[in-house]
Structure 1
Amino acid sequence: MIREHPESVVVVMGCYAQTAPGDVLGIEGVDLVLGTQDRMKMLEWLEQVTTERKPQNAVHEIWEAEEFEELPQLSEEHRTRALLKIQEGCNQFCTYCIIPYARGPLRSRLPENALAEARRLVEAGYPEIVLTGIHTGYYGQDLRGELGEEWNLAHLVRELVKIPGLCRLRLSSIEPMEYTPALIESIVSSDKVCPHLHVPLQSGSDRILTRMNRPYTLHEYRDLLERLRQRIPNLAVTTDIIAGFPGETEDDHAATLEFVKACGFSGINVFPYSKRKGTPAANFPDQVSRQLKAQRVKDLLLAARVSQEEYVRYFIGKPVEVLIEWIDSQGCALGYTPHYIQVKIPANEAGRPWTPRHFVTVVLEKGMVGRV
């Protein structure tokens, strides 16, 4: 790339740049290391790099960050669902995770800014907004006492669903301990909030959860799912599992498989444990071999497929609402239901092409189901 564009300036940003700026700056051809903050100052730094003609390290201590960094919303006309970031940083320090070291402390976006961007997205034609963040459920904790009223995720959801023209509001990953009674009430009180919640589990062994520094037990997790399903019929629950965490025994793995099967997840993201330099777990002595991690991933993926099929079976033969996201080369429409079931709809028999960002109701057939 540098040979093809010798006059270009190479800028490296992101988590690796934040946690190892010296290593990144040592890479031949890198001109500027910026990390995960101060990105709005990029033009200033580019001017300095071009003027001084020497590489610059613009990274500073991430735990000095105190405010959510507002970045301009980029136009993405090919997207149907708009992502609305409301929070940055994490104070949890799970033993396997580099995010607190790379993204810094909890910082919530001011509610007036989040609501204003949501209105702009709706006006731009996005029928669905997905709330995102690092520790989304803790939104507002750092704003207490600053705004004259208490703001949390429950309050923000109540305000967002009032926006005229917004059809769907989807919540991204929210940790088990973050589902407060107020948040659950906000979810169930509006039909705009999608009946799909992502609740990370990570392991089905209490012993491993403790080693991960996850602040809940399996009993608490199971109790949460029961409370959510009592309030939200046919709720889709997706989750994350880490396979082969240091110290995970065959008994721990078997317990995770059994717990996963009992939870009735509609979708599961499975990841083999991967060392992150600088995290406690990277130095744990009882690392699991790559071969064993690969086998455990296969076991969990099989359980995930069975669980998804069992969940989707309820909807077969029933009408479902699909938000069309894109059209394939054969004219078939692909989109998602509120429960995050991917549906493939055959080409329109009437000859009219399907249109992205439009809703259509179809009777779901088994051959139409993609993934959850």
Structure 2
Amino acid sequence: MKKKVAFYTLGCKLNFSETSTIARGFQEEGFQRVDFSEKADMYVINTCSVTENADKRFKTIVKQAQKVNPQAFIAAIGCYAQLKPEELAAVDGVDLVLGATEKFKITDYINDLTKNDFGEVHSCEIEDADFYVGSYAIGDRTRAFLKVQDGCDYKCTYCTIPLARGISRSDTLDNVLKNAAEISAQGIKEIVLTGVNIGDYGKGEFGNKKHEHTFLDLVRALDKVEGIHRLRISSIEPNLLKNETINFVAESRSFVPHFHIPLQSGSDAILKKMRRRYMSKLYVDRVRQIKEVMPHACIGVDVIVGFPGETDEHFLETYHFLNELDISYLHVFTYSERENTPASTMEGAVPKNIRHKRSKMLRGLSAKKRRAFYESQLNSTRTVLFEGENKEGYIHGFTENYVKVMAPWDPGLVNTLHRVKLTEIDETGLVRLEFLETPVRA
């Protein structure tokens, strides 16, 4: 009988890509992968440390696994496992905790899956995380997350990621192209490029600091890979998103007009306290350049509310800045103190009720922005990639510029691309469509 292993991933697209690669390693060792809700011999939880909430969820997920199989071997990997290994090892039921470099060799650390009396920790000093492990996520999705870069050399005062993932380092261009070709060969239509700081691509191949290739080199090379219908850039720092890249995406064969650009604050005073590497003017310039060459482009924004020292005036500066900017949606993060970060000891802590109030205001602004963006796309012709789930009689999909659409469920549409006309916004906030050609079962 094959041993069964199940995975649970917290956090970002990068974590999902790494979980997938680690899972394939288990399958090569003879394990059978099952869903996390099913009975397994081993449960692997890939953790996140970005928000306070992700920390708290870990214990809940351990309990879920124990409920299904009290005798199961439980391992914790990922960012929180690197930052707080002893804390995770002390959680009842946890048998193994692996840090940033050890997680990719997890099968070397397990024996007969006998439960331990105490959680066993194998965690490197983060300075030793100076080599690169490529990964990508495929499976039940119509898109794949392809990791091209890891780690970060930036010193933002609120962030634990450099402590959890180490220095910035990149995959070789050849290996990225090989992984992209493998993904394409499996019939996946869209690849999302992911990493901690992907605009920094080219730095630190295998621990050195030579810039073998730039992010623009990477984008140009991927655009030539046969069989990839869509390439999407995930989050990219505004100071690293150069006009040359924006202009290339506008003319490219496969890259879609969708950018996600972290802002964090619209107040220059707060950006300085955060140690961000740009001021608000540069951000405005990036948005303007995108809209100039791709008027229909979708632009998503990360923003943090309640950073230490953020007064009502600073917050309103951010609110008005975003309100006037030609963007499409926001990802709003409520600031939470993270140990060993400079921001955690700064004066001027914002009361939690005010943080939540500001977060709610920006979520409301995000809904307004998304609605306005969707309205601007009505009556236009777009290409939709349909997803794989039947949701209450409907199938959902995304246009190239990230408008979420719905159509009556038809299994033949799953993982297919279709030219459509966007007709109206449904009461759920999604967009209905009209097919412009007979659906092709492909």
Which letter maps to 2:387?
A: E
Decide whether aligned partners of structure 1 residues 208 and 363 sit closer, same or farther in structure 2, where only a CA change above 3 A counts: same
Which letter maps to 1:210?
A: K
Residue 42 (structure 2) aligns with: none
How far apart are the structure 1 equivalents of 2:211 and 2:167?
Answer: 22
How far apart are 1:124 and its partner, in Å?
Answer: 0.2
How far apart are the structure 2 equivalents of 1:57 and 1:308?
Answer: 45
How far apart are the structure 2 equivalents of 1:184 and 1:98?
Answer: 29
How far apart are the structure 1 equivalents of 2:199 and 2:118?
Answer: 42
Give 4+ residue runs of structure 1 displaced > 4 Å after superposition: 1-7, 48-55, 144-149
Q: How does 1:183-332 map to 2 (within 5 A)?
A: 183-332=245-394
Is 1:96 matched up with 2:166?
A: no
How far apart are the structure 1 equivalents of 2:391 and 2:243?
Answer: 46
Residue 36 (structure 1) aligns with: 100
Residue 359 (structure 1) aligns with: 417
Which letter maps to 1:266?
A: S
> Is the deviation greater in 141-150 or in 89-98?
141-150
Contact 2:192 2:231 (C-alpha < 8 Å) held by counterparts? yes
How far apart are 1:264 and its partner, in Å?
Answer: 1.8
Aligned with 1:140: secondary structure? coil
Decide whether aligned partners of structure 1 residues 339 and 329 sit closer, same or farther in structure 2, where only a CA change above 3 A counts: closer
Contact 2:305 2:358 (C-alpha < 8 Å) held by counterparts? yes
How far apart are the structure 2 equivalents of 1:129 and 1:205?
Answer: 34
Residue 236 (structure 2) aligns with: 174
How far apart are the structure 2 equivalents of 1:40 and 1:181?
Answer: 36
Contact 1:188 1:232 (C-alpha < 8 Å) held by counterparts? yes
Matched length: 365
How far apart are 1:40 and its partner, in Å?
Answer: 2.9
Which letter maps to 1:190?
A: S
How far apart are 1:9 and its partner, in Å?
Answer: 2.5
Decide whether aligned partners of structure 1 residues 57 and 149 sit closer, same or farther in structure 2, where only a CA change above 3 A counts: closer
- Deviation per residue, 1:188-228 (Å, 9 max, x gap): 23131110101111111111111111111111111121122
How far apart are the structure 2 equivalents of 1:111 and 1:67?
Answer: 15
Decide whether aligned partners of structure 1 residues 253 and 40 sit closer, same or farther in structure 2, where only a CA change above 3 A counts: closer
Contact 1:144 1:151 (C-alpha < 8 Å) held by counterparts? no
- Deviation per residue, 1:126-161 (Å, 9 max, x gap): 111000000010010224997998312111111111
How far apart are 1:50 and its partner, in Å?
Answer: 5.5
Identity rate, percent? 34
- Deviation per residue, 1:263-284 (Å, 9 max, x gap): 1211111111111112111122
Structure 1, gaps ≥5 residues long: none
How far apart are 1:36 and its partner, in Å?
Answer: 2.4
Is 1:17 matched up with 2:81?
A: yes
How far apart are the structure 2 equivalents of 1:310 and 1:302?
Answer: 13
Q: TM-score normalised to the size of structure 1?
A: 0.91
Q: How does 1:9-88 map to 2 (within 5 A)?
A: 9-47=73-111, 55-71=119-135, 73=136, 75-76=138-139, 78-88=140-150
Q: TM-score normalised to the size of structure 2?
A: 0.77
Which letter maps to 2:122?
A: A
Question: Which has the higher relative contact order, 1 or 2, with Cα contacts under 8 A spaced 6 or more apart?
Answer: 1
Aligned with 2:287: secondary structure? helix
How far apart are the structure 2 equivalents of 1:181 and 1:334?
Answer: 33
Contact 2:137 2:144 (C-alpha < 8 Å) held by counterparts? no
Contact 2:156 2:276 (C-alpha < 8 Å) held by counterparts? yes
How far apart are 1:54 and its partner, in Å?
Answer: 6.4
Which letter maps to 1:119?
A: A
> Is the deviation greater in 257-266 or in 50-59?
50-59
Decide whether aligned partners of structure 1 residues 57 and 146 sit closer, same or farther in structure 2, where only a CA change above 3 A counts: closer
Which letter maps to 2:430?
A: G
Structure 2, gaps ≥5 residues long: 1-64, 432-442
How far apart are the structure 2 equivalents of 1:269 and 1:184?
Answer: 21
Which letter maps to 1:273?
A: Y
How far apart are the structure 2 equivalents of 1:151 and 1:300?
Answer: 38
How far apart are the structure 1 equivalents of 2:373 and 2:115?
Answer: 60
Contact 1:144 1:150 (C-alpha < 8 Å) held by counterparts? no
Which letter maps to 2:170?
A: S
How far apart are the structure 1 equivalents of 2:411 and 2:281?
Answer: 49
How far apart are the structure 2 equivalents of 1:240 and 1:55?
Answer: 36
Decide whether aligned partners of structure 1 residues 222 and 4 sit closer, same or farther in structure 2, where only a CA change above 3 A counts: closer
Which letter maps to 1:92?
A: Y
Aligned with 1:126: secondary structure? coil
Decide whether aligned partners of structure 1 residues 2 and 332 sit closer, same or farther in structure 2, where only a CA change above 3 A counts: closer
Is 1:370 matched up with 2:430?
A: yes
Task: Select the structure that is richer in strand.
Answer: 2
How far apart are the structure 2 equivalents of 1:199 and 1:74?
Answer: 22
How far apart are the structure 1 equivalents of 2:81 and 2:206?
Answer: 32
